[in-house]
Amino acid sequence: MFEKLGHLIAKRKKPILALFLLSTIFAGVVGSQVFSRFDTGGYMDPNSDSAKVWEYLDETFEVKSPAVVLVVDGRDKSVDDPSVVASAEKIEASLRSEPSAESVLSYWSAGRAPSLKSKDGNSAFIFVYLKSTDFTEIDKLGGLYQEKYDGAFEGMEVYASGGAVFANAINGRIQNDLKISEAVSIPLTFLLLLFVFGAMAASAMPLIVGITAILGTLLVMLLLTLVTDVSIFALNLTTGLGLGLGIDYALLIVNRFREELAKGLDDESAIVNTLRTAGKTVFYSGVTVVLTLLSLTFFPQNFLKSMGYAGAAVVALAVVGALIPLPAILALLGARINKGVVRKGGIVQKEDGRWSKVARFVMRRPIGVITASLAVLFLMIAPIANIKFSQVDSGVLPRGDRAYIASQFIADEFPGQESNPVEIVFPNGASQTSEINAFLSQVSATQGISRVGQLELVGESARAVAIHSMQPRTSEGEALIKELRNLSAPDGTLIGGAAADYADTQNAISSTLPAVLGWIIITVLLLLFAFTGSVLLPIKALILNFISLAATMGVLTWVFIDGNLKFLVGDFIETGSLDTNTMVLIAVVAFGLSMDYEVFLLSRIKEEHDAGNSNVDSVAMGLQKSARIITAAAFILAVVFAAFVISGVTSIKMMGFGVAFAILLDATLIRAFLVPALMRLFGDWNWWAPRSLKRFQINH
């Protein structure tokens, strides 16, 4: 298949390039419209009790959450002071006149309800309910309301918070941070490629594949937004994977093409041999990464689903770019791929260089190397004992962000989570009044509950709210929901709200993880077996990858929970926990990229083994011929993701650092030391498989 593809591309290179160029321009122009359609939410399990509660509140009780929450702080004056009242009424009147506001409710217009006043009596709430339900519009309005109302007003201070303001703050920062990270990573990447390849023409090829993969995925994400919500965070993942893996795959293809030319082959033969060897490796590596990323779609949350779809799309497009238009460009350039020489050492690759020497050194002392490597890994794993999980809230924003300042002011000054109550719905409440009252008495007596509101009846359904004192999206909020759900409640009772949403999301992730792990383990084992024909090597790869992931999680705990390395990653707010969704994302992406490098390495080792070399020589020569590319690819990919560390959003900072660390750990300690040492110990067992399974092996 790959040989036929090589002949076709070599003969039809100009039409292929023309089609590729037109497709890229179309994808970039149309796909750029996706930037206004991203969602900052998507963390909810749509099948959970909390999701059903939101449906009841919307459809039966016609209750909407305030999109904008303002707090008027009289500073040293009471909210009942005539001057504060007059100023607050001016603000409320202005809010009511906003064309986007459906209704406004405040402490002053709601009969001066004590629940809407701060504990010191100097601050009070104003809730703004918007007409629009379109996310893009709400996001935009959040920024407009914050700009217009947040800040000093007639001797008072007004703080703007709420979902719309938070969404706008997150989206704005991510889009601005993305521009900065790309401005840093793309030029730096080109310089690194120039060092690796030693020639201007060759160095440009990987960037072409990476950038076109990103543009193509923008179009895919735009199409996805027509049928589902797509997380704003998918933008960072798409950029990182598209640029990084596009470079990885192009490195492999271009390097092999130059090798074939150096043997004296003509352009077409060089293209055919390149696709037969490196092209096949890229294809199966890409399939492995795509299948790993698709495991994210198993989770019910749109946040993780959209990451899975976008990640799989950008990897698939990077593979297509590396296998079709890139070889067409190489066929057109031929020997001119080495034009613009800046470093001769980057063009000629030695058969027996430093990487071969490293491999032989490791294989002379395999037990000592394995022991030392595992000791380092388990030292990295140790901090994982302190790991705690939470979900994205205002704590992901920088300390100086007004949305974060407003959120903290509300948390400090108001004893109950008035805008984040526990919502209790009784679908058959009209016939369960006595049971409901008994249940609500238990709820009121539960530690952490500040008060329980009056029962509201609409038709057959009933609703009550319980105000609690802890932050909702935390382990404490989760424990409260679990306790409430364990109370003796009327049949059909549903408990929702922000804390319940968090609890249900955590439960959805933990209950889906076995299926995700099963999918990853089975697909990776089958693909690696088909690729290598070995039973032992796929098992070894899985075990090493899981150990590497544990080490990455341990280091993330040490950095983002314990607050270390701020001089390197920049300042962030220590919340004492890690975002669960981001950790799942890091784990799956890092696992997929680790398998990418595993396929790269094993491909060259197997090629040498099939040529009749001994186990030791195969490993040494395979490492020599692939480690340079793997190390360069890993370092460049790490640079791409590490650029996200400059983000002001902690979850993006964590993703960038986590993936970059996992990549570097895998390409150094795992691939350069543990893999050669273990393959030396396994000896000829490396390539063993039952005779009955040999027919499933790919013929290299």
Domains of the chain (ranges, CATH numbers): 2-40+168-392+505-696 (1.20.1640.10), 67-161 (3.30.70)
Angle between the N-to-C axes of helices 302-323 and 580-610, in degrees from 0 to 180, rounded to the nearest 10: 30
The vertex-517 CA angle with 516 and 522, nearest 5°, equals: 105
Mean pLDDT, residues 334-346 taken together: 67
141-192 residue pLDDT tens: 999 999 999 999 988 999 999 888 988 888 888 878 878 887 887 788 778 8
User: Beta strands 68-73 and 123-130: pairing type?
Assistant: antiparallel
Residue in the block written with tokens 């006149």 = 97
Task: Kindly state the helix (H) or strand (E) to which residue 451 belongs, with its residue range.
Answer: strand 449-452
In sequence order, which ranges of 263-365 are alpha helices (DSSP H)? Answer: 267-274, 280-294, 302-323, 325-333, 354-364
The CA distance from 166 to 260, in Å, is: 55
Per-residue pLDDT for 436 more than 60?
Answer: yes
Range from 83-97, 146-160, 396-410 carrying the lowest mean pLDDT: 396-410
- Mean pLDDT, rounded, for 310-315: 90
Average pLDDT over residues 386-413: 85
Q: What is the pLDDT of residue 92?
A: 93
pLDDT > 70 in the chain, percent = 96
**698: confidence class by pLDDT, cuts 50, 70, 90:** low
Which tens digits make up the pLDDT trace of 290-312? 999 999 999 998 888 988 988 89
To the nearest 5 percent, what fractions of the chain are helix, strand and coil? 70, 10, 20
Percent above pLDDT 90 for the chain? 34
Give dist(CA 15, CA 377) in Å, integer.
Answer: 50
> What is residue 152's three-state secondary structure?
strand
Q: Specify the pLDDT at position 347.
A: 45
Question: What is the tens place of the pLDDT at every residue in 71-88?
Answer: 999 988 999 999 999 999
Q: How confident is the model at residue 340 (pLDDT cuts 50, 70, 90)?
A: low
Give the model's pLDDT for residue 599: 85
**Distance between alpha carbon 486 and the CA centroid of its chain, in Å?**
34
The burial class, CB within 10 Å (0-12 / 13-18 / 19+), for 674 is buried
Do residues 45 and 233 make contact, with C-beta atoms less than 8 angstroms apart?
no
Helices (H), 105-162: 135-149
Q: Running DSSP on this structure, what letter comes out for residue 208?
A: H
pLDDT tens by residue, 568-625: 998 888 888 888 888 998 999 889 888 888 888 888 888 888 888 888 888 888 888 7
Query: How far apart (Å, rounded) are the C-alpha atoms in residues 100 and 164?
Result: 12
Q: Which of 334-348, 367-381, 672-686 has the highest mean pLDDT?
A: 367-381
Do residues 231 and 269 lie in contact, with contact meaning Cβ atoms separated by under 8 Å?
Answer: no
Residue 348 pLDDT greater than 60, yes or no: no
Residues 6+ apart with CB under 8 A from 493: 424, 425, 426, 439
Question: pLDDT for 559-579, tens place per residue?
Answer: 999 999 998 998 888 888 888
Q: Which helix (H) or strand (E) holds 104?
A: strand 101-106
As a whole number of angstroms, the distance between CA 429 and CA 456 comes to 9
